[in-house]
A = this chain, B = another copy of it.
Amino acid sequence: MDIKIVDVANKAGVSPATVSRVLNGNAYVKSKTREKVNQAIADLGYHRNAFAQNLRSQKSMTLGIIVPDINSSYFAEIIKGIENMAYSRKYRAIICDAENQPEKELEYLSLLLSRTVDGMIIATPAISDEEIVRLSDKGYAIAVIGKNIDHPKVPCIFTDNVKFSREVIDHLVGLGHRDIVFLSGYAEAVDSFERLEGYLKGLKEHHIPFRPELVENGNFNEAGGYEAMMRLFDKKISFTAVYAANDEMALGVYKACAERGIRIPEQIAVVGVDNNRISKYLTPTLSTVNQPKYAMGAVIAEKLIDQMNDNEFSEKRVFSVDSELIVRGSSGGPKASS
């Protein structure tokens, strides 16, 4: 038996409307009345019923976030950024872990359709650009992390995959490597494609001919990276460096090399992407590309909330953030964690 607004109204000898006004800081309330009401609220230990409030306002002050996996420091950091920004704007976040399953992504997307969340931030690859455009046109508030959606109402934040991939190649070539393997992620992700593009451009700049047999798919996970390396070893082709499109796959590379007794970086240099928390604890420490994860989360959350509220399709909608290459032991930097 919960206390409702009428109970407070009765206790204070006013109407529910007046209680509501006090609750919402409406100015047209005598200070004496306000006091009476506040006293009644305190006496009864009244809490407003969020369900009724949501129905009336058609808002839940809740953001949904869909990520491929929360047990990855990459997404965990992004989530923290979103969460803190949302919290400061009085929003809550519902985190949806799609566990790398495209079906789950779509199921979670229906959260938005059922209007339990006011807006949604998508950081997964399986939800297509067309679907996002369609939903946005229908009036749903959506923001995207990791790719650029061509729609005036969809805030996007991503990093320049091509740019940092070229830097990675620069770095490796600078160390004398010419036979550089590229481990790609699954095909649905733009990240896979763009990092490959950067790899190709990097080679071209250094006039190194592209050898297709040096590209393998590792599905962005450790097992995939391991298997891809095994395939490469079995092919008996020579290479001296591996650029893995993320750190998870680099873990698989380490494992495969350990099994074959190949030393990193002496025999094979390795560079990953994401600056996963694990990367600096490996032996040797893993060279990787760091993205400003926390900031990315915070920025996209802020933009989405802004847009949901004032509907002013803000000056800036698309954010490309810079990533930096961190050179560690796996490609010539200090081998131990500092």
Contact = CB atoms under 8 A, between A and B. Distances in A.
Interface string A275-315: 00110011100000000000000000000000000000000
Interface string A110-141: 01011110000000000000000000000000
Given A51-B60, A113-B47, A114-B48, A93 B94 contact: yes
A109 interface: no
A55 interface: yes
Contacts of A71: 73, 76-77, 80, 277
User: In this complex, which of A52, A60, A116, A258 has the most chain B Cβ atoms within 10 angstroms of its Cβ?
Assistant: A116
User: In this complex, which of A47, A49, A70, A73 has the most chain B Cβ atoms within 10 angstroms of its Cβ?
Assistant: A70
A251 interface: yes
A27 interface: no
A114 B251 contact: no
Contacts of A66: none
A324 interface: no
Copy tally for this chain in the complex stands at: 2
A7 interface: no
Contacts of A47: 113-115
Nearest to A72: B76
Contacts of A113: 47
A336 interface: yes
B115 A97 contact: no
Interface string A49-92: 11110110010101000000011010011011001000000001
A58 B2 CA distance: 11
Contacts of A50: 114-116
Given A47-B114, A254-B281, A277-B278, 8 more contacts: A48-B114, A62-B94, A70-B80, A92-B111, A95-B95, A251-B281, A255-B337, A278-B278
Closest 7 CB pairs of A and B: A283-B283, A71-B76, A51-B55, A51-B54, A95-B95, A50-B116, A55-B55
